[in-house]
Amino acid sequence: MTRFATTLACQLADAVPEAAPFIEKAVKAKPGLLKSNLVAQLRHLVYEPFKAAAKRGRLLKTSLLKGPFLIVIDGLDECEDRQDVQAFIDDMLEFFKKNPLVPLRVFITSRVEQHIQSHLKNGQVRLENLINHCSRDDIDTFMRTCFEAEKERNPIINSYIRKQGDWPTKKDRDLLVDHIGGSFIFASALFKYIVDPTDNQSTPMDRLPHTLNMNPGLDTLYARTLSRSQDLPHSSNIISTLALLFEPLPIVGFAELLGIESFEVVRVLVNLQAIIHIPGTDDLPVTMCHTSLRDFLTTESRSGHFFAPPRFHAYLADRCRDTEKEQRSGTAVALYIVDHFEKHLDVTYAHILANSRNFPYFSDIISTITLLPEPLSIAEIADLLCVKASDVSQVVASLRELIDSPGIDEDGPVIIRHTSLRDFLASATRSSTFFVSPSYHLKLSYHYFSLKLEHRLNDIPSSPVTRNSHWGCEYHLVQYLKTSSEQSILAKLKQLLPDQNLSYHFYLFTFIFFWLFGDPPDHRPQQVWFALTKCIESLALGLESDPAPDRWLQARLCWLSGISSIYMSGGYAYRSKIHQEQATTLQRDVGRIGKAIREKVFMDFSRL
C-alpha cells in the first residue's frame, strides 16, 4: 500500500492529462507529501486533482457524454497492510459522500476478506457477488476460439474434419469444459497438450479423450493454501466437511451442521480463497474453484494430513442425526439432511464393510446376523453355519463400529447397533455388493434343518441352536416363500443348495411338503402335481442315498414332517386333474420309497 497512491496518481496523469498540473502542484506545495500517510497522499494526489480537472471543459463534456471515469483496483485483498486498506476504503467513501457529483467511480475486486467486506458494507457501495457469475461460458469461449484457430493452421485436423466431420464435437467440448472447471490456467495447459506439435506418436484427436482424466497439477497450491488454516480451531472438520458434502452449504450451514459458530467457519475458510469461492453473504453456498480440490482432499497419498477420510462420513451422519433431533425447519442444513443424510450412512457402512469383506465366511456371517429374527451369540452363529467360532469373532470384531458383541467365550448376543444398517443391507440399490438377499433365508432354513438331522441320526448332544431348529427352519422357510415367485423357487433350491446329499434330499422333501400343505396358504404352488412329484422324488432320493442303514434303527424320522404336520389341522386338500404321465411318475417314486424302506429295515412312516 506504500506505492498505492503514487501509482494511481501516475496513471491518472496519463489517462487524464488535465489532472497532471494539479498533481505536480500538490507535490511542490507539500515536499513531505510522498512520505506522508496513505490518506493524505490519496487526497492530494488523486481525488483533489481529478476534482479540479473535472471542472475543465473537455473533461466535463466527456463525462457528460460517456459517463464517469473509472478506477479499477483488481485484487485488493492481495495488499498485506490491512490497516492501510481499511483507511483507503474509509477515506474513499468519505470523499464520495462529500462530493457525490464528481464524475468518478471506483471498481474493486477482492476475495471476501473480513477487513475489506466489513468496511464496504455501506449504502454508497454496490456489492456484487461473483459467485453468481459462472466462468464456464468464458472457458467455453476460450476453448472454442483456440480450437477454431488451430483448425486453420493444422493440416492433420483439417484432413480429419474433411472425412469425419467437425472436431471437436460439441459433446466432447462440453465434457472438456466441465472437466476444466473455472481454471484458465488448466484450460490453457490442456489445450497445449492436445495440439502439442512435438508429439509425433499421436494426433490431437487421440489426445483429447486422455485430457478428461488429467489432474490439473494444483497439489502444491492446495497444500500451501490449506496450511494457512491448519492450526485454527475446527480446521480439520471444516475442510473434511467441504470435501465430503454431497451438496454445497453456506457458512451458516457449516456452522449448524458442525455445531460451531459462523465466525469460526469464516476464520478457517477466509484463508482458502485461492482455492474456494466464498460468497459475500453467509447464506449462499461455499464452493470449490475446481473439482480437483475434492480429488486432492479424498486421496491420502496426495493430501497427507489434509486427507478427508471416508470415516468422516460417519461423523457427518451423526451430526445430521443430532441436528435433525433439534427439529429446525427451513434451514439449509434441514433441507440437506432430507436429501443426503442416508447417503452419508451408506458411504460409512460401505467403507467399514469393505475393510472386513476378505475375512473367511464374511458374506455368510453378515447375512445371518442381518436376517435372524432374534440375535444369537458368536458360538451359536458358528454352530448354525458350521464354521469356527474364531472366524465369526474375527468378522464381528472388525465391525465393532456397527455391531455390539461380547467376547468369543461369552454367551451374549451379537446385535446390530442401529436398524439403519439392516435397512442398508436389505436394499440392493444402496448396498450394491454387500446386499443381503432375502433368498439367503433358504440357506438359513437349510442350516437349521441339517443341524437337526445330524443331531437325530448321529446322536449328537443338543445345543441351543438344535433345540430351536424346528422353529428356525420354519421361520426362514416362510420368509423365503414370501419373497420368491413360484417359478424361481425350485431353481433357487438347486442354486443355493448345490450338494445333493442326504440332508439336501430330505430338506427338499420337507420344504416342498410345507409349501404344498403348510401355512401361509397364500404362497402355495399353482403347479400342484409338479411340486408333489418333486416332493415324493426327494424322499425317495433321500432314502436311497443313505449310506448307513443301521442309523434307521436308532432314530425315528417322523420328526421330518413335524414342521409341516402341525399346520395341517385345517385338512387342506387339493382338487385337480392328474395326467397319466404324472400318475406314472408318482407311482414309480412311491415304489422307490417302498423299496428303500424294505432294504434298509422297516420303519413306521404312518405319520408322514
Alpha-carbon span 50 to 27, nearest angstrom: 15
CB 296 within 8 A of CB 302: yes
Task: Give residue-wise pLDDT tens across range 396-426.
Answer: 999 999 998 777 667 789 999 889 999 999 9
**What whole-number distance in Å separates Cα of residue 161 and Cα of residue 401?**
58
Q: What is the rounded distance in angstroms from the CA atom of residue 538 to the CA atom of residue 540? A: 5
Asked if 607 and 563 touch (Cβ cutoff 8 Å), the reply is: no
Q: Indicate the helix (H) or strand (E) that contains 264.
A: helix 262-269
**Prediction pTM value:** 0.66
Flag whether pLDDT at 565 surpasses 50: no
The helix/strand/coil state of 285 is strand
pLDDT band of 131, cuts 50, 70, 90: low
Cβ atoms of 537 and 589 within 8 Å: the answer is yes
Query: Taking a C-beta distance cutoff of 8 angstroms, is the pair 450, 499 a contact?
Result: no
The helix (H) or strand (E) run that includes residue 155 is helix 155-164
pLDDT-based confidence at residue 564 (cuts at 50, 70, 90): very low
If you average pLDDT over every residue of the chain, what do you get? 83
DSSP 416: E
For residue 70, list its beta bridge partners: 105
- Matching residue, cell 480440490: 293
pLDDT on residue 310: 93
Say whether 249 sits in a helix, a strand or coil. coil
Per-residue pLDDT, 566: 39
pLDDT (tens digit, 9 = 90+) per residue, 362-399? Answer: 999 999 999 999 999 999 999 999 999 999 999 999 99
Report the alpha-carbon distance of residue 13 to residue 5 in Å, rounded. 12
Residues linked to residue 294 through DSSP beta bridges, in sequence order: none
> For residue 25, what is the enclosing H or E element?
helix 20-29
For residue 539, pLDDT beyond 60: yes
Residue 294 neighbours by CB distance under 10 Å:
15
Q: What are the C-alpha distances in Å from 388 to residues 360, 398, 443?
A: 10, 16, 18
Strands 69-74 and 104-109: parallel
- pLDDT tens for 304-332 read 999 999 999 999 999 999 998 887 888 89
Lowest mean pLDDT among 33-37, 50-54, 266-270, 514-518: 514-518
Selection from 250, 282, 287 nearest residue 133 by Cα: 287
Cα dihedral sign for 421, 425, 429, 432? positive
43-82 b/e with 16+ CB inside 10 Å = b? Answer: bbbbbbbbbbbbeeeebeebeeeeeebebeeeebbebeee
| 599, 549 contact by CB (below 8 A) | yes
CA-wise closest residue to 245 among 228, 258, 234? 258
Among 250-254, 299-303, 325-329, 330-334, the least confident range: 325-329
The CA-to-CA distance between both ends of the chain, in Å, stands at 100
Look at residue 336 in the predicted model and tell me its pLDDT: 94
3-class secondary structure, 277 = strand
Q: Collect all residues with Cβ–Cβ distance below 8 Å to 137 and sequence separation of at least 6.
A: none
220 burial class (0-12, 13-18, 19+ CB within 10 angstroms)?
Answer: exposed
3-state class (DSSP) for residue 288: strand
d(CA 137, CA 133) in angstroms, rounded, equals 10
Which residues, in sequence order, are bridge partners of residue 107?
Answer: 72
Within a 10 A sphere around the Cβ of 541, how many other Cβ atoms?
Answer: 21
Which H/E stretch holds residue 224? helix 219-226
DSSP-derived secondary structure for 71-124: EEEE-GGG-S-HHHHHHHHHHHHHHHHH-TTSSEEEEEE----HHHHHHH-STT
The DSSP result for 397-412, as a single string, is: HHTTTTEE---TT--P
Q: How many whole angstroms separate alpha carbon 490 and alpha carbon 221?
A: 62
Percentage above 70 pLDDT, the chain? 79
Answer for the pair 324, 337: CB distance below 8 angstroms, yes or no.
yes
Helix runs in 121-154, H state only: 136-153
The DSSP letter of residue 390 is H
Q: State yes or no: pLDDT of 586 exceeds 80.
A: no
**Could you give the residue ranges of the DSSP H alpha helices within 435-579?**
440-458, 464-467, 469-482, 486-496, 502-517, 528-545, 551-554, 562-565
483/434: higher pLDDT:
434
- State yes or no: pLDDT of 598 exceeds 90: no
What whole-number distance in Å separates Cα of residue 490 and Cα of residue 512? Answer: 9
- Strand extents, DSSP E, 286-381: 287-288
Amino acid at 39: V
Cell of 603: 420303519
